[in-house]
Amino acid sequence: MLTLEALNAAGYKSYPNTLSRYALYGMEKRIEDQFGTKYFIHVEVFESYPHQDPTTYNFDTTVQFRDCDHFELGKKPTVNMTYLDDADTTIEDIEEFFERAWEFLGFPYYERNE
């Protein structure tokens, strides 16, 4: 189950600007390894629905893969993906899915270490 506590423990940082005007705020995590930054995972945090426990939140988790290697050619191929979770989904499930997608699609690093 996704919770604010799980997101904080996994290293997600809050930011005030959100992609949705209905979101309370956003959270973001930079996914990187020894070679550089691969991509960022964004989480929009929403209030609970009327039929839900009012102490819980709803989350939209998205990632954007950009082919920065082709910017100089005037092309900016970008793929946006949203993970639709259920009650049993953990942040680890989402991170593993996005990592597999990044590897399968073969996108380059967002930013390489020098």
- Please state the φ and ψ torsions of residue 81, each to the nearest 5 degrees: -130, 140
Q: What is the pLDDT of residues 41-95, one digit of tens each?
A: 999 999 887 887 777 888 999 998 887 666 566 666 788 999 988 889 999 999 9
- Which residue intervals of the chain are DSSP H helices? 4-9, 91-105
**Residue 109 neighbours by CB under 8 Å, 6+ apart:** 35, 36, 37, 38, 68
Q: What is the share, in percent, of the chain residues with pLDDT greater than 70?
A: 90
Q: Which of 55, 48, 51 is nearest to 24 (CA)?
A: 48
pTM of the model: 0.86
Give the whole-angstrom CA distance, residue 78 versus residue 36: 19
* Structural domain for 106, as ranges: 4-112
What is the total count of domains within the chain?
1
